[in-house]
Structure 1
Amino acid sequence: MTELDEVDRRRGRPWLVVALSAVAIAAVTTAGVLGWEVRGQRAVADAERQAMAAAQQYAVILTRVDAATLDLNFAAVLDGATGEFKDMYSQSSSHLRQALVDNNAHADGTVIAAGIRSATADTVEVMLFVDQSVTNASNPQPRLDRNRIVITMQKIDGRWLASDVDML
């Protein structure tokens, strides 16, 4: 091997090092991006699971009415609410109170089915099918109401709270 061949061989090595470095950087970057995406998907899946459970419990609370324990009913609804929905419910419950007491209203809801409508890591929209048995002074025989409810759940300070409720 001549001295010129040795110089040519050394010149080729920096290109090889650069090429291998580029491949290594691309591999690490791709792994990082994929890991970040998987982490994001896990966060949304966890949010869906937690918000679904919270929304089902909240739907039962929301559809439960007992004229004898209205203060407890209203307090439970407000405890699971946030934002404009909480404000609206707080204002409307004071108007509704007397009608429920006068009519000796009673209702119990049961979640029949639920599904996720949309989700991010901190906001989940849950659609629920709720059967509600309703009685009152003028109708002592239970009447079954079949409700579709969409509850938007938001994670606030580690709790899933209802920020919007739509009865369809």
Structure 2
Amino acid sequence: MSRLGGVLTAARGGATAVGHGARKAVRLPGVAWADARRRPRRAFLTLGVVAVVLIVVAGLFGFLALRQAQIESARGAASAAAEDKVTTLLSYDYRTIDADQQDRQALVTGQFKEDYGSLIADIVGPAASRQQLTTRSSVVSSSVVGTEGTDRVTLLMFLNQTTQSADKPDPTLSGSRIRVTLEQVDGDWLVSELTPV
């Protein structure tokens, strides 16, 4: 019985403490208001600091949200440009490969522009003419795998390529996987790296 009495006494004590705490919490706004009336400069200073902190936090969240929206927009634009430009760069016809070279150079940038030009002029072009080679590329799927700010995006792309030649007039289908980096140059997304993986 004494054990039960002790539990009841402790429960009453806890309830009393909670009641006192609740009453203090209810009185707190009244005390704060009375303190603000006694010391208005201090109250205005406190409110000013709180307002500045809230403005800074809201501005930071706004900036981060805007930045994220810009990155998402860049990823979408780069993905669309990659599907168009990569298929053009990896498709060629032995009858027009030399004439198409200038248009292809407008799709690439940086060191890759020089590397791609040399590859087509020195290796792909002569081999395509010799074998009467025609290749058509199409994108099966692609995914963004990296973003550096809003002007550099890297994708992993899966392609199908259909090839015909004088020796093999029936189309031959092959698949490939490439890593492509695009950079935004003067408002246009251009291929700056293209690596088989």
> 1:43 and 2:44 equivalent?
no
Cα deviation, residue 31, structure 1:
0.9
**TM superposition shift of 1:52:** 0.2
Q: Kindly report which structure 2 residues correspond to 1:3-14, keeping only aligned pairs within 5 A, or say none.
A: 12-14=39-41
Moved more, 9-18 or 107-116: 9-18
Is 1:105–2:109 an aligned residue pair?
A: no
CA distance in 1, matches of 2:49, 2:63: 21
- In structure 2, C-alpha distance between the alignment counterparts of 1:108 and 1:72, rounded to whole Å: 17
* Structure 2 match to 1:15: 42
1:117 matched residue in structure 2:
145
**In the aligned structure 1, how far is the partner of 2:170 from the partner of 2:176?**
19
Partner of 2:90: 63
Kindly, what percent of the aligned residue pairs are identical? 26
Shift of 1:10: 6.1
**Contact 1:61/1:73 (<8 A) preserved:** no
Quote the RMSD (CA, aligned, Å). 1.5
Query: Residue type of the partner of 2:174?
Result: D
Unaligned runs of 5+ in 1: 1-7
Task: State the 4+ residue runs in structure 1 displaced beyond 6 angstroms.
Answer: none
Q: Note if 1:136 corresponds to 2:165.
A: yes
Cα distance in 2 between the residues matched to 1:149 and 1:72: 26
Q: Report the CA distance shift for 1:9/1:18 in structure 2 as closer, same or farther (over 3 A).
A: closer
For each residue in 1:110-129, what CA deviation from the matched residue of structure 2 results, as whole angstroms up to 9, or x when unmatched? 11111101113000001111
Spell out the pairing of 1:68-107 with structure 2 (5 A cutoff): 68-96=95-123, 97-107=125-135
* TM-score with structure 1 setting the length: 0.90
2:100 maps to amino acid: N
Pick the structure with greater CA Rg: 2
Partners of 2:196 and 2:100 lie apart in 1 by 18
CA deviation vs aligned residue, 1:36-93 (integer Å, no higher than 9, x gap): 1011101100100100000000121022110011024323321110001001111222
Q: Which has the higher strand share?
A: 1
Greater RCO, 1 or 2 (C-alpha within 8 Å, sep 6+): 1
In the alignment, what sits opposite 1:163? 192
- Post-superposition Cα deviations, 1:5-60, rounded to whole Å, max 9, x if no partner, equal xxx97651111111100110011101110111011101100100100000000121
